[in-house]
Amino acid sequence: MAKVLDSVDQRTQLVGENRLELLLFRINATQLFAINVFKVKEVVKLPRLSAVPGSHSHICGVANIRGTSTPVIDLRRAIGYRPITGEHEANMIITEYNRSVQGFKVGKVEHIVNMTWGDILPPPKTAGRHNYLTAITRIEIDGVSQIVSIIDVEKVLAEIIHYDVTLSEGVLDLSLVDEMQGRKILIADDSSTARRQIKETLEPLGIEILEVSDGLQALRTLQGWCDEGKSVHDEILMLITDAEMPEMDGYKLTHEIRSDKRMNNLFITLNTSLSGSFNKAMVEKVGCDRFISKFQPDLLVDVVQQRLRELVR
């Protein structure tokens, strides 16, 4: 099973080209689900798990992976289905999100598909606000077109791990508090959970949040202001963008902004759960001003204060 990811290092080169690869898997007999390969460390048959008394109901145990204890989440149960039965058919996808490693118990792992972000679409609005999808796409398997549902892993994790938006003592620069009042920030992120956590961190400081769910929406918003003769700097303090989004990723979005002389000096922060070292290299490549990893309220406030200091000095 680990051979599925033998060339993962090569696949990371797709990031920044508005492309991605999805690891397809099943948690029931009829539906295909997926997560981005770049967040996957390994795929293995489900090992023997040790129980964790008092843990969240979605945690089915802890696996010992080469001497490291890894919590395992029953993904089927976490997104509202009955728990997986038939342990002999179960696999574990080991992932890294937001600086933490966890395993997801799933059923059959299918294969990897190469896509463009333009092929990835937001879930239908009729799915409601409480669904566990960030996007959907369609692929052909043996000549049959099938819908693939891309899991909102950040929402799954947020329901298990409480992300505290309280600021550490001394982080807030009191001399900048008045400067924050009424400032607007545009955030682009396909995860409603991520957008909500940014809002809960920054809105109490007097900052107004404008939000969109993908890079293309963000670009059209910025271009619309420019077409109307507005300065993006009068409209927003900065853009905070996720890396992975339907239709246009954060890297492509940044490239498009930097290529438009009407807004090419907009302050852009990449805010993502992807690998930190790789993203720092991508920040330099596409020209972001800052990279911060989710979900760290202190860093969110720090980047806002950095931008304000540049404006008021």
**The amino acid at 287:** G
Is residue 284 scored above 80 in pLDDT?
no
Between 311 and 161, the more confident residue is 311
CATH code reported for the domain at 177-312: 3.40.50.2300
Q: State how far the Cα of 251 lies from the Cα of 16, in Å rounded to an integer.
A: 5
Distances (CA, A) of 43 to 96, 182, 221, 237, 275: 12, 47, 39, 42, 18
Residue whose C-alpha is closest to residue 190's, from 234, 132, 138, 143 = 132
**Beta-bridge partners for 95:** 40, 102
Give the right CATH number for 20-159 from 3.40.190.290, 2.40.50.180, 1.10.10.10, 3.90.1530.10. Answer: 2.40.50.180
**What is the rounded distance in angstroms from the CA atom of residue 156 to the CA atom of residue 18?**
25
Q: In this structure, what token pair is assigned to residue 155? A: 């929402």
Structure confidence at residue 8 (pLDDT) = 41
What digits encode the pLDDT tens for the residues 240-281?
Answer: 999 888 888 888 899 999 999 999 999 999 988 765 555 566
pLDDT digits (tens, 9 = 90+) for 1-55: 545 544 444 444 555 566 778 999 998 777 899 998 878 888 999 999 998 888 8
pLDDT band at 103, cuts 50/70/90?
A: very high
The pTM (predicted TM-score) of the whole model is 0.78
Q: Which residues of 124-137 are buried (b: 16+ CB within 10 A; e: fewer)?
A: eeeeeeebbbbbbb
If one compares 148 and 98, the residue with the highest pLDDT of the two is: 148
For 130-192, the DSSP string reads: T-SEEEEEEEEETTEEEEEEEE-HHHHHHTTS----PPPTT-S-GGGHHHHTT-EEEEE-S-H
pLDDT tens digit sequence for 201-252:
999 999 999 999 889 999 999 999 999 999 999 999 999 999 888 888 888 8
Structure tokens at 258: 């930097």
Residue 146 has pLDDT above 60, yes or no: yes
Q: What is the mean pLDDT of the chain?
A: 85
Average pLDDT over residues 75-80: 90
- Reading the block at residue 235, the tokens are 């409209």
Spell out the domain ranges in the chain: 20-159, 177-312
pLDDT confidence of residue 118? 80
As a whole number of angstroms, the distance between CA 241 and CA 187 comes to 6
pLDDT of residue 12: 44
Q: Whole-angstrom Cα distance, residue 303 to residue 295?
A: 13
Who has greater pLDDT, 21 or 178? 178
> What's the one-letter identity of residue 207?
I
| pLDDT-derived band at 166, boundaries 50, 70, 90 | confident
Burial code of 111-120, b = ≥16 C-beta within 10 A, e = fewer?
ebbebbbebb
